[in-house]
Amino acid sequence: MFVNALIGLVILGIVFFPLERLWPAQRGQRFFGRPGFVTDLIHFVVTGALTTVGLVLAAIPFVVAIRAFTPAQIRDVVTAQPEVLQLVEALMIVELVGYWSHRLMHSVPSLWKLHRVHHSSERMDWLAAAHLHPFDASFGRLLAVIPLAYLGFSRETFGGAIAFLTLHGIFQHANFRVRLGPLRKVVSSPQFHHWHHTNDPHARDRNFAGLFPWIDGLFGTLYLPDREWPQTYGIDDAMPLNYLRQLASPFRPPPAASPTPEPAVPSGTCVEASSTI
Ligand SMILES: [Zn+2]
Ligand SMILES: [Zn+2]
């Protein structure tokens, strides 16, 4: 599993590194050696593996229990559809559940303690997608299992939807200035999700959707200016760079508020401080 994660890391690096160098959203931003770089590598490999194992173990009893209540007629109708249609439906369900579970993460204090780990990144790039607490990563997916299992979607369909959304999630964190034209409010882009990560007070708590910005439009939380990108990212209080301290942070007393966040584009040298296991 760790070997697969390392292979994935290399492949994603080969794809995204040139894109971020050629068309950066935030010019002058370093990738190698940026603050939290080593910690995010550990998140990618270790948190990713922990989440996958934990999700599978937690989902098995969920799925078995929920499927016992599924009427056979519903399951037959769902599974008789073409696989592509099932995948699209599963994506829609995961997206809708994901939107509301993400919104809960921002509004319920105990859930925000988990989710603020993800929002503590002050530089956005493809690797920052992995910067999240394993309980945070599992929460929305476990909730999505409930309707999918009840309706009779197969494990393969659920896995396909999650794999697609995970890859898209990496894309939308990238420091990559891509314009989708008229599709920008239909399919999410890095600009859409970067605004979700801004620390700018006028744009906070917006853009909760993973793939479809129009879901935010539907529920009144869309913020997507035409060409503008955020100037700052992060949270108001401090988050340690150390990997294990980040995992422990939701269960510790709240940290003191930190001063104004750093600008998105580094102005000088950055030092990676104690960011190892
Ligand atoms: Zn969020
Ligand atoms: Zn994010």
Q: For residue 270, report the distance from its CA to the centre of ligand 1, in Å.
A: 25
Residue 263, pLDDT score: 52
Please say whether the beta carbons of 24 and 175 come within 8 A. yes
Average pLDDT over residues 31-49: 92
Domain boundaries of the chain, sorted by first residue? 35-250
Query: What ligand has the least distance to the C-alpha of 121?
Result: 2
The residue type at 170: I
Task: Copy the structure tokens of residue 111.
Answer: 């859930």
Q: For residue 210, report the distance from its CA to the centre of ligand 1, in Å.
A: 10
Q: For residue 87, report the distance from its CA to the centre of ligand 1, in Å.
A: 25
Q: For residue 37, report the distance from its CA to the centre of ligand 1, in Å.
A: 20
The residue type at 97: V
Q: For residue 210, report the distance from its CA to the centre of ligand 2, in Å.
A: 9
Residue-wise pLDDT for 64-88, tens only, equals: 888 888 888 888 898 899 989 999 9
* Higher pLDDT among residues 57 and 187, named by residue: 187
Q: For residue 236, report the distance from its CA to the centre of ligand 2, in Å.
A: 16
Q: For residue 9, report the distance from its CA to the centre of ligand 1, in Å.
A: 23
Q: For residue 119, report the distance from its CA to the centre of ligand 1, in Å.
A: 6
Residue-wise pLDDT for 221-247, tens only, equals: 999 998 899 999 999 998 999 999 999
Residue-wise pLDDT for 96-126, tens only, equals: 999 999 999 999 999 999 999 999 999 999 9
Residue 255, pLDDT score: 63
